Amino acid sequence: MWVVGASSGIGSAMAKEFSRLGANIVISARRGKELDTLVDHVTSLDGRSEGAAAIPFDATELDVAPEVAKAAVEKFGQLDVLCLCQGISNRGKVAETDISVDQKCFNVNFFSYVALAKAVLPFFLGQGSGAFVVISSVQGFFSLPQRAPYSASKQALHGYFDALRAEVDHLNIQVNIVAPGYVRTELSLNALTTSSDCTHGKMDATTDGGYAPDYLARKAVAGVVAKKELIIIAQPKAVAAIWLKRIFPSLLSRTMKNRGAKLDRAGPKS
């Protein structure tokens, strides 16, 4: 299998969990040093000297997707699962956020997923099987104030991969969307603010108190093995918000408007 965005956080944890179940792992991200460390960790755990391999690349360079996908397939001679974990968030009001932030969020959270899925799909079609594991967010269902680019990119992700599932499910190709709530990763530290060159640089309290990545990975992989189309792993408030969006959307809208007004008065909160 191939895990993209594997240098830290959820991606690293997903690679470890799939490897624990006996899979050969190809891992990718921009940071080659972290990938090498993960390869060493995975191979030391299962004793397989060739159980993991790294292909560093920048997923936002969309043109290289076909070439990198071919290399990933060739590492172990086949590819059964593509797990897409790369992601970036934002912190800031729409009125104060440069369009470069919207573009970067979509390039990382949406277009890189699409490019890699399109590059791998011919291999899955050729072998008559495969699985796309898409790491999204509960914000794929509802939007938070001061998270407009992030929320929008995740909702686009759901729309795209729901459509792909409808096209390929009868061809023995599954699409699993994983929607986490708060997870203890570097997401808030690296979140963009007013422009694509400015980062939040702080660990939000909600993120710091989130699920451990290893816990998230265990739950997610169990859902993939069970062939669940949608795997929600989130705190009770987030799950309630998803249901409110479906059943009482006006109540959720009022809640978010109140939250937006408080943020406007008090500034960004963690």
Q: Write down the pLDDT at residue 265.
A: 87
Q: Write down the pLDDT at residue 266.
A: 80
At residue 268, does pLDDT exceed 60?
Answer: no
Whether residue 86 contacts residue 56, with contact meaning beta carbons closer than 8 Å, is answered with: no
Q: Write down the pLDDT at residue 33.
A: 93
Q: Write down the pLDDT at residue 47.
A: 60
Q: Write down the pLDDT at residue 269.
A: 44
Q: Write down the pLDDT at residue 49.
A: 57
The mean pLDDT of 99-123, rounded to a whole number, is 98
Which has more confidence, 161 or 269? 161
At residue 267, does pLDDT exceed 70?
Answer: no
- Confidence grade of residue 48 (pLDDT, cut at 50, 70, 90): low
Query: Residue 257 falls within a domain, yes or no?
Result: no
Domain that holds residue 94: 2-237
Q: Choose, from 150, 160, 182, 215, the residue flagged as catalytic.
A: 150
DSSP H helix total and E strand total for the chain: 10, 7
Query: Residue 93 falls within a domain, yes or no?
Result: yes
Q: Write down the pLDDT at residue 44.
A: 80
CATH number at residue 160: 3.40.50.720
At residue 46, does pLDDT exceed 60?
Answer: no
Query: Residue 57 falls within a domain, yes or no?
Result: yes
Q: Write down the pLDDT at residue 270.
A: 39
At residue 41, does pLDDT exceed 50?
Answer: yes
With tokens 């599954």, the residue in question is: 174
Task: Name the least confident of 12-21, 46-55, 77-86, 197-206.
Answer: 46-55
The mean pLDDT of 51-64, rounded to a whole number, is 96
At residue 193, does pLDDT exceed 70?
Answer: yes
Query: Residue 245 falls within a domain, yes or no?
Result: no
d(CA 135, CA 86) in angstroms, rounded, equals 8
Max intra-chain CA distance, the chain: 57
pTM of the model: 0.95
Q: Write down the pLDDT at residue 42.
A: 85
Query: Residue 69 falls within a domain, yes or no?
Result: yes
Domains of the chain: total: 1
Query: Residue 204 falls within a domain, yes or no?
Result: yes
DSSP of 43-95 = HHHH--TTSEEE----TT-GGGHHHHHHHHHHHHS---EEEE-----B-S-GG
At residue 34, does pLDDT exceed 80?
Answer: yes
Query: Residue 251 falls within a domain, yes or no?
Result: no
Work out the burial of residue 246: count CB atoms within 10 Å of its CB; fewer than 13 is exposed, 13-18 middle, 19 or more buried.
exposed
Query: Residue 58 falls within a domain, yes or no?
Result: yes
- Confidence grade of residue 155 (pLDDT, cut at 50, 70, 90): very high
The mean pLDDT of 118-141, rounded to a whole number, is 98
Average pLDDT over the chain, rounded to whole?
95
At residue 67, does pLDDT exceed 60?
Answer: yes
Q: Is 150 a catalytic residue?
A: yes
Q: Return the bridge partners of 53, or none.
A: 26
